[in-house]
């Protein structure tokens, strides 16, 4: 599976190194007038970036979880944090496995 | 001197298990005199047992299987008369082939890394943590090296009880609740497994796996025993929908314990594969058993990753990913089992099993690394809540790099080790069923999305106003070791597959050879 050059990780590494060197050399051609300062600062809606402005982890993928709301509601019910429910699911799987194995 | 070396070489199998076990008791005793000796003694125990594990590996890879029966000098005196009239010798049988030795290597690496990491991370309850950790290491080795079903049950119990103690080692608020749930589930699982073992013992008067393998006639009771053991071990491995204890146990335990819990769950996965191949391999309906593993695998992959995505606690998020990654292993090995004995096995089944087994060792490395980076974040900031941390890359550049390596690897990006095993699984499973392969790829995309969230919220962003604590060198060293191994496994996958993975898969699928070699012990 790894015989071909397409999946050869060493080849990947050489290729990435080559691209990195080319990008560096290419960048050097026009960066004489480059002014380090506010150009490297992140731009957030025109406001200065502050700790309190930074999006929280829980803000991320809101659209994804909202689109799959029904799925996540049922999943949260399943993950009830009650040990009785943990045992319940184990018994369900055990019963189904036994049924399938014995019948087959 | 030569006699001593010969004695050590003869007893490698037992010494691997005994060294950390003895180390646990000695550490506890010595701690009564001076607590400063606790860590050095624990480290020595792990170094010695890991050395024995690598020695055993060299013995197996150079000379084939290794087995050892620990019994009385006069076995005839120590026997039990069975109702059938035969005499059963009382003894402990240990054995090692390509598969068990691969698992022992994983334990050796991870126990070494975890103990180095723990030096500064564990600063209180030393006399609780180190002895329990050593007992857990001993039990995990035992699960992988035993050739006897009852001893397997005993070692499962040792791992469970020591694991429950380790969950509560540092935290007295949420952790006891998680430890209780873990203990309840582990005990129920172990009792179900014991019931299955009892059904086999009642019929065939033996607990030796190889002897049972050639005796089993696939009767109704055998089928019930198989189902009991399969469900019990799948639950212990953290398979969906029996995984709910995993986020609790992994999430609330100290980070080095979470990293080693991954190995503990993999020991159960190993036992599950042993039951499917080595114990029932000569009589089992491969298609039924294989599809059970595949369904459990796909459910674990999908539910694990989708539940990880909205998590706000970094360790719970990683714990759900551990469930998801277990699914890949079940899928790969399940596909191999389904087509075992057919021409399709040579076409893609063997590759699928290689992918599944390779993913076991890769997962131990990158998931271990990710849990250790989560521990470093907790050490530096005092919180695991992703909403409360940001901009850590400004102060923790090394941890950031280690996290990126772990995250890229778990997401299956080249040239990291996760890619090497996942590409084997994708390609071989595609030949079996393209839909399953597509699900596996989708899960990898969601995994990447989930770790981008962690990276963005914890490491990127403005400099935090509160400077995090400096990470000690021992913790960085432990993470560096795993990072180097991940890179090595990712850059030279063929070397690993040819020397470690192929012998492991051969040991599993060549059931007749296993029975022939070990039933005579």
**Residues B414-462 pLDDT 10s:** 889 999 999 999 999 999 999 999 999 999 999 999 999 999 999 998 8
Asked if the Cβ–Cβ distance from B424 to A1 is below 8 Å, we say yes
Domain spans in chain B, listed from the N-terminal domain onward: 2-518
pLDDT at position B443 is: 97
pLDDT at position A70 is: 95
pLDDT at position A59 is: 85
Burial class (CB in 10 A: 0-12, 13-18, 19+), B354: buried
* Phi–psi pair at B146, nearest 5 degrees: -85, 150
* Residue with the larger pLDDT of the pair A17 and A30: A17
* Residue A2, pLDDT above cutoff 80: no
The top-scoring range by mean pLDDT among B4-18, B90-104, B331-345 is: B331-345
Alpha-carbon Rg for chain A, nearest whole angstrom, is 27
Give me A39's structure tokens.
């150009």
pLDDT at position B82 is: 65
* Residue A1, pLDDT above cutoff 60: no
Mean local confidence (pLDDT), B107-133: 93
Give me B150's structure tokens.
């009852």
**Three-state SS sequence of B227-284:** HHHHHHHHHHHCCCCCCCHHHHHHHHCCHHHHHHHHHHHHHHHHHHHHHHHHHCCCCC
Give me A45's structure tokens.
């809606």
Cα dihedral B287, B289, B290, B296 sign: positive
Q: Say how far apart CA B419 and CA B469 lie, in whole Å.
A: 33
pLDDT at position B189 is: 96
Q: Say how far apart CA B214 and CA B279 lie, in whole Å.
A: 8
pLDDT at position B465 is: 86
Q: Say how far apart CA A14 and CA B30 lie, in whole Å.
A: 53
Picking from B178, B181, B231, B250 by the largest number of A CB atoms within 10 A of its own CB, the best residue to mutate is B231
Tell the residue number behind the tokens 């962690």, with chain if given.
Answer: B454
* Phi–psi pair at B73, nearest 5 degrees: -60, -30
Contacts with A, B 174-193, CB within 8 Å: 180-181, 184-185, 188-189, 192
B131 within 8 A of B291, measured Cβ to Cβ: no
pLDDT at position B88 is: 67
Specify the DSSP element, H or E, that contains B127. Answer: helix B126-145
DSSP B84: T
- The residue of chain A nearest to residue B180, with distances taken between CA atoms, is A83
Q: Tell me which residue of B519, B514, B489, B515 sits closest to B501, measured CA to CA.
A: B489
Q: Say how far apart CA B302 and CA B159 lie, in whole Å.
A: 28
**Residues A49-97 pLDDT 10s:** 667 777 888 888 989 999 999 999 999 999 998 999 999 999 999 999 9
**Residues B73-110 pLDDT 10s:** 666 666 667 666 666 667 788 999 999 999 999 999 99
pLDDT at position B288 is: 95
Residue from the list B242, B288, B461 with its beta carbon closest to the beta carbon of A101: B288
* Residue B344, pLDDT above cutoff 90: yes
pLDDT at position B83 is: 65
pLDDT at position B169 is: 86
First to last CA, chain B: 29
* Residue A48, pLDDT above cutoff 80: no
- Report CA dihedral (B515, B108, B501, B227) to the nearest 10 degrees: 50
Q: Say how far apart CA B224 and CA B222 lie, in whole Å.
A: 5
pLDDT at position B10 is: 82
Asked if the Cβ–Cβ distance from B456 to A60 is below 8 Å, we say yes
Q: Which residues of A touch B492 (CB under 8 A)?
A: 9
* Residue A26, pLDDT above cutoff 90: no
Residue from the list B285, B420, B461 with its beta carbon closest to the beta carbon of A104: B285
A57 within 8 A of B454, measured Cβ to Cβ: yes
Q: Say how far apart CA B159 and CA B137 lie, in whole Å.
A: 8
Mean local confidence (pLDDT), B278-299: 95
pLDDT band at residue B22 under the 50/70/90 scheme: very high
Q: Tell me which residue of A8, A104, A80 sits closest to B420, measured CA to CA.
A: A8
ipTM confidence score: 0.91
Tell the residue number behind the tokens 């469930």, with chain if given.
Answer: B323
A65 touches B at CB < 8 Å: yes
**Residues B300-328 pLDDT 10s:** 999 999 999 999 999 999 999 999 999 99
pLDDT at position B196 is: 97
Mean local confidence (pLDDT), A3-32: 80
pLDDT at position B72 is: 67
A21 touches B at CB < 8 Å: no
pLDDT at position B394 is: 92
Mean local confidence (pLDDT), B269-273: 96
Give me B353's structure tokens.
């099993």
**Residues B480-504 pLDDT 10s:** 999 999 999 999 999 999 999 999 9
Give the 3-state secondary structure of residue A33. Answer: coil
Give me B241's structure tokens.
């929908």
Mean local confidence (pLDDT), B174-179: 92
B205 within 8 A of B79, measured Cβ to Cβ: no
Mean local confidence (pLDDT), B386-405: 94
């Amino acid at each position: 599976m790894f015989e071909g050059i397409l999946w050869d990780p060493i080849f990947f590494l050489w290729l990435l190194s080559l691209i990195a060197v080319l990008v560096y050399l290419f960048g050097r051609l026009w960066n004489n007038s480059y002014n380090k300062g506010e150009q490297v600062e992140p731009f957030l809606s025109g406001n200065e970036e502050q700790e309190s402005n930074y999006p929280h982890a829980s803000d991320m993928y809101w659209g994804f979880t909202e689109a799959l709301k029904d799925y996540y509601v049922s999943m949260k019910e399943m993950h009830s944090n009650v040990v009785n429910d943990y045992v319940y699911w184990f018994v369900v799987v055990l019963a189904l496995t036994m049924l399938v194995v014995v019948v087959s | 001197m030569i006699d001593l070396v010969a004695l050590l070489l003869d007893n490698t199998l037992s010494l691997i298990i005994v060294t950390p076990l003895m180390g646990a008791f000695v550490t506890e005793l010595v701690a009564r005199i001076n607590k400063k000796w606790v860590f050095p003694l624990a480290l020595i125990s792990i170094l010695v047992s890991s050395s024995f594990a690598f020695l055993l590996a060299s013995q197996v890879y150079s000379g084939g299987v290794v087995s050892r029966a620990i019994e009385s000098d006069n076995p005839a005196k120590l026997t039990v008369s069975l109702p059938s009239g035969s005499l059963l010798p009382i003894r402990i049988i240990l054995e090692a082939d390509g598969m068990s030795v691969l698992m022992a290597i994983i334990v050796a690496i991870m126990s070494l890394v975890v103990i180095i990491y723990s030096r500064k991370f564990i600063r209180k309850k030393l006399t609780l943590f180190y002895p329990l950790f050593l007992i857990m290491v001993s039990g995990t080795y035992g699960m992988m090296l035993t050739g006897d079903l009852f001893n397997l049950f005993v070692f499962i119990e040792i791992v469970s009880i020591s694991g429950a103690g380790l969950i509560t080692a540092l935290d007295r608020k949420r952790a006891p609740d998680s430890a209780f749930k873990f203990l309840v589930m582990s005990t129920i699982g172990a009792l179900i497994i014991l019931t299955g073992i009892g059904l086999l013992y009642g019929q065939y008067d033996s607990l030796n796996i190889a002897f049972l393998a050639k005796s089993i006639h696939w009767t109704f009771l055998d089928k019930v025993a198989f189902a009991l053991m399969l469900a019990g071990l799948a639950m212990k491995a953290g398979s969906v929908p029996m995984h709910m204890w995993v986020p609790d146990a992994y999430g609330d335990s100290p980070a080095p314990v979470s990293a080693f819990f991954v190995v503990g769950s993999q020991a159960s996965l190993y036992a599950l594969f042993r039951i499917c191949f080595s114990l029932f391999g000569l009589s089992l309906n491969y298609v039924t058993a294989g599809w059970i593993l595949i369904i459990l695998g796909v459910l674990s992959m999908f539910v694990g990753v989708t539940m990880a995505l909205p998590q706000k606690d970094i360790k719970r998020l990683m714990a759900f990913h551990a469930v998801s990654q277990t699914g890949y292993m079940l899928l790969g090995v399940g596909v191999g089992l389904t087509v075992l004995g057919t021409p399709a096995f040579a076409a893609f089944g063997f590759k699928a099993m290689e992918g599944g087994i390779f993913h076991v060792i890769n997962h131990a490395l990158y998931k271990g690394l990710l849990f250790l980076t989560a521990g470093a974040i907790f050490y530096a900031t005092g919180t695991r809540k992703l909403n409360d941390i940001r901009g850590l890359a400004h102060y923790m550049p090394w941890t950031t790099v280690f996290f990126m390596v772990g995250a890229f690897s778990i997401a299956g990006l080249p040239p990291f080790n996760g890619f090497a095993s996942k590409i084997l699984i994708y390609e071989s499973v595609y030949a079996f069923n393209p839909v399953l392969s597509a699900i596996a790829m989708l899960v990898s995309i969601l995994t990447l999305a989930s770790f981008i969230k962690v990276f963005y919220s914890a490491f990127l962003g403005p400099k935090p106003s509160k400077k995090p604590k400096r990470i000690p060198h021992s913790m960085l060293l432990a993470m560096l070791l795993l990072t180097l191994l991940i890179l090595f496994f990712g850059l030279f996958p063929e070397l690993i597959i040819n020397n470690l993975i192929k012998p492991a898969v051969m040991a599993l699928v060549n059931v007749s050879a296993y029975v022939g070699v070990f039933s005579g012990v």
